[in-house]
Amino acid sequence: MAIDDMEKKLRPPEITLKPYPPKMIKLASGEIMVVREAKREEVGALLGTVHPLIGVPSDYYDIVAVRMYSEILGWYRYRVANEFVLVGTINGVEPAHHDHQARSARRCSAVCRQNGTPHRHSR
């Protein structure tokens, strides 16, 4: 895909990040959740998973969902530099996903506590 001059000006510069190695986490239920880096072709499924939570006001799910939706969409459209998206899968089903930006582990942990997504920030 050719990027025109305007697109070059809009896109932030990106540094090449190492691929996030998949990690396995044992859940309280005994199931194993694999946390891995999401692919751009999965964005439709990710946004579809987050969208229903936009209408859930309890525990601020609506606010968290809107922020996650916008950050995933920004990542997909190349509007955020140096960001990666993690997906948690249990038996191949994606129950939780989370977007991360290299700048804010504290904010990221707060969002994960809010939506119950366990993960680690090390790369």
**pLDDT > 60? residue 16:** yes
Give the mean model confidence (pLDDT) for residues 107-112.
44
Q: Return the domain boundaries, the chain.
A: 36-123
Q: Count CB neighbours of 48 within 10 A.
A: 9
> Which of the two residues, 123 and 53, has the higher pLDDT score?
53
User: Would the pTM of this model clear 0.85, i.e. be above it?
Assistant: no
Percent of the chain with pLDDT over 70: 72
Residue-wise DSSP of the chain: ----HHHHHHSPP-PPPPPPPPEEEE-TTS-EEEEEE--GGGHHHHHHHHGGGGG--GGGHHHHHHHHHHHHHHHHTT-SSSEEEEEEEETTEEEEEEEEETT-HHHHHHHHHHHT-------
Report whether 84 contacts 72 (CB < 8 A).
no
From residue 118, alpha-carbon distances to 62, 81, 85 in Å are 20, 24, 14
pLDDT band at 34 (very low <50, low <70, confident <90, very high): very high
Q: Which two tokens stand for residue 92?
A: 């191949």
68 exposure class (CB count in 10 Å sphere: 0-12, 13-18, 19+): buried
**pLDDT > 90? residue 10:** no
- Give the chain's length: 123
